[in-house]
């Protein structure tokens, strides 16, 4: 499209927002964009619709079709309302839960969504204030609701907000409900299609009572109460990074029995501006820097952090030299799986029908731990909705122990159907007390796992390719990896190739085609070599980049070998980069 044509199209779309269907403040902001000589902001705001994808909405806040505002949120809620009425029209009362995080406009968007649901005759349970995403998931199941939404942009920068939609099992929607909801949302073409005038009689404010029930349920998953009693004064530094964990995480730690929770006062301030961090992401060392400093000041033993909507957990521990180190998502997943399976076994709870779940890009050491303990493992795509899908299929038939992914998400309980940093914080603290009973730090417990089950080192590499040409380059790279598959990576022959876009694999040794048992296709290519090196390649679904997940394995016989093994692993990752030409 020529620039003049694009500008004309954008101006026409913007003028559609000057009608009486839109509020005066919005009309004024749109007119100001139209009046500016520089059309850059106008184009960015209106050149496309903010897409309601399979996970919902996410975007920069502001006026326009490509922004998070009351009208894009309204269209999403009206479309979801229309679909719920089609699916559950036989019910006497359709019910939904609405939660929100600390972000700017999150409460406003939540209240407007409540108005729209209620205007459509749908009963709404609206939280009185910010709450973590996993608690919203819990509430859907607890109150027997058909759906739920939460206003959050997870750990994105402060300019963003988002809208995640859930189904009646408490999990984010998958097919067919995701695509059917998207179709209904896409039918909403104008603000006049949205029922904004709510029915207050159908909106019920909820809060403390659900908090109490949620925390009680979480306390019930504790596996080492005696260890906590012996180490109840364990010094734990916790930061919510300005988000939803600010009250619920400390209260849950106390319900488990921990009495010495140290706050980071500056980061207990609830704020959508995230004033103390550049990015409120517990994967980023900078986000935990203040908490680590507090741990040094107080001689604490564990640092815990949660992202703004309380579903991802970050942790830092002391190494053998007393230096603070951050655990990555694969390491926390290893610790969770090892601990949960070990305690289930020691408690006599393993009966042969237990299972765990991981994503295909998460460390294979999780599989080794499961297999050696006779626990079934499921491998799923990235995204916690796929872990929840396995839980849904196994409900009432098999026992869920835990599941997680390398991107700092884990779920220790089966009554929530999304990653839960609230329970993850409590179990990490409990695990620290349990390890202390054995004379080990959490870091040394991780070392024990490496000695017992093998050492793995993982590294994610992202190659950014911006713009239309970048997208085409990424597509060409994927096509080339498929057309000209690697035969060797970092000196080891490729043994298996798995192409999830066709759900077919190939055994290079046996020359056999394999069928991959997955619920749908995904643009992911995976190589596994003879020395168990695993490389997964996939384009990002939300950013202009192609991602490479590299994993290497070694055997170690004692903790003293780990430092040299770590160096060897890092060198091998560089060899993998050379093999992939990245």
**CA 179 to chain centroid:** 20
The set of residues, in sequence order, having a beta carbon less than 8 Å from that of 206 and lying 6+ positions away, is 97, 125, 126, 127, 128, 139
DSSP strands (E only) in 109-258: 123-127, 147-151, 160-166, 203-206, 236-239
Buried b / exposed e across 256-283, counting CB within 10 Å, b at 16+? bbbeebbebeebbebbbebebbebbbbb
The set of residues, in sequence order, having a beta carbon less than 8 Å from that of 480 and lying 6+ positions away, is none
CA angle 486, 487, 493 (to 5 degrees): 130
The token pair at 440 is: 């080990």
In three-state secondary structure terms, 277 is coil
CB 146 within 8 A of CB 88: yes
CB 500 within 8 A of CB 522: yes
The set of residues, in sequence order, having a beta carbon less than 8 Å from that of 264 and lying 6+ positions away, is 237, 238, 239, 290, 291, 294
Four-CA torsion 137, 140, 141, 142, nearest 10 degrees: 110
Length reported for the chain:
582
Q: Is 557 a catalytic residue?
A: no
CB 458 within 8 A of CB 551: yes
| Active-site choice (81, 106, 118, 154) | 154
In three-state secondary structure terms, 362 is coil
Tell me whether residue 436 is exposed, middle or buried, using C-beta atoms within 10 angstroms of its C-beta: 0 to 12, 13 to 18, 19 or more.
middle
Number of Cβ atoms within 10 Å of the Cβ of 255? 16
* Catalytically annotated residues: 154
């Amino acid at each position: 499209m020529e620039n003049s044509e694009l500008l004309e199209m954008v101006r026409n779309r913007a003028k559609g927002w000057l009608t009486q269907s839109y509020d005066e403040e919005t009309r004024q902001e749109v007119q100001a964009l139209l009046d500016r000589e520089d059309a850059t902001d106008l184009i960015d705001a209106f050149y496309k619709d903010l897409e309601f994808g399979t996970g919902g909405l996410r975007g920069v806040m502001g006026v326009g079709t490509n922004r998070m505002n009351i009208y894009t949120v309204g269209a999403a809620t009206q479309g979801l309302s229309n679909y719920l009425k089609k699916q559950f029209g036989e019910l006497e009362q359709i019910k939904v839960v609405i939660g929100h995080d600390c972000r700017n406009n999150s409460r406003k968007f939540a209240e407007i969504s409540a108005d729209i649901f209620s205007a459509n005759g749908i009963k709404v349970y609206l939280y009185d204030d910010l709450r973590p995403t996993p608690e919203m998931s819990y509430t859907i199941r607890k109150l027997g609701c058909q759906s739920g939404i939460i206003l959050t942009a997870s750990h994105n920068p402060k300019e963003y907000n988002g809208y995640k939609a859930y189904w009646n099992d408490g999990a984010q929607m998958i097919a067919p409900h995701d695509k059917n909801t998207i179709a209904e949302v896409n039918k909403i073409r104008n603000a006049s299609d949205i029922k904004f005038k709510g029915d207050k009689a159908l909106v019920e404010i909820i809060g403390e009572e659900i908090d109490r029930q949620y925390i009680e349920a979480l306390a019930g998953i504790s596996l080492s109460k005696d260890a906590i009693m012996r180490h109840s004064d364990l010094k734990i530094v916790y930061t919510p990074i300005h988000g939803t964990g600010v009250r619920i995480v400390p209260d849950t730690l106390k319900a488990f029995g921990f009495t010495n929770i140290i706050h980071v006062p500056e980061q207990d301030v609830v704020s959508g501006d995230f004033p103390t961090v550049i990015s409120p992401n517990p994967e980023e060392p900078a986000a935990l820097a203040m908490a680590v400093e507090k741990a040094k000041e107080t001689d604490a033993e564990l640092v815990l952090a949660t992202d703004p909507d309380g579903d991802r957990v970050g942790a830092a521990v002391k190494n053998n030299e007393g230096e603070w180190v951050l655990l990555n998502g694969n390491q926390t997943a290893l610790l969770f799986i090892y601990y949960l399976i070990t305690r289930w076994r020691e408690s006599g709870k393993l009966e042969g029908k237990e299972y765990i779940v991981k994503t295909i890009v998460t460390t294979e050491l999780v599989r080794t731990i499961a297999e050696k303990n006779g626990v079934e493992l499921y491998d799923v795509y990235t995204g916690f909705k796929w872990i929840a899908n396995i839980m849904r299929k196994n409900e009432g038939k098999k026992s869920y122990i835990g599941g997680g992914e390398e991107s700092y998400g884990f779920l220790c309980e089966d009554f929530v159907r999304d990653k839960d940093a609230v329970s993850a914080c409590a179990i990490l603290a409990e695990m620290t007390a349990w390890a202390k009973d054995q004379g080990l730090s959490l870091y040394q417990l991780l070392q024990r796992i490496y000695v017992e089950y093998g050492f793995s080192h993982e590294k994610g590499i992202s190659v950014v390719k911006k713009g239309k040409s970048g997208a085409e380059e990424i597509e060409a790279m994927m096509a080339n990896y498929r057309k000209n598959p690697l035969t060797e990576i970092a000196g080891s022959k490729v043994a298996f190739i798995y192409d999830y876009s066709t759900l077919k694999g190939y055994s290079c040794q046996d020359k056999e085609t394999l069928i991959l048992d997955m619920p749908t296709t995904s643009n992911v290519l995976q190589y596994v070599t003879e020395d168990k090196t695993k490389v997964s390649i996939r384009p990002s679904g939300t950013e202009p980049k192609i991602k490479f997940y590299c994993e290497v394995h070694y055997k170690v016989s004692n903790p003293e070998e780990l430092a040299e093994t770590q160096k060897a692993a890092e060198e091998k990752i560089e060899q993998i980069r050379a093999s992939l030409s990245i």
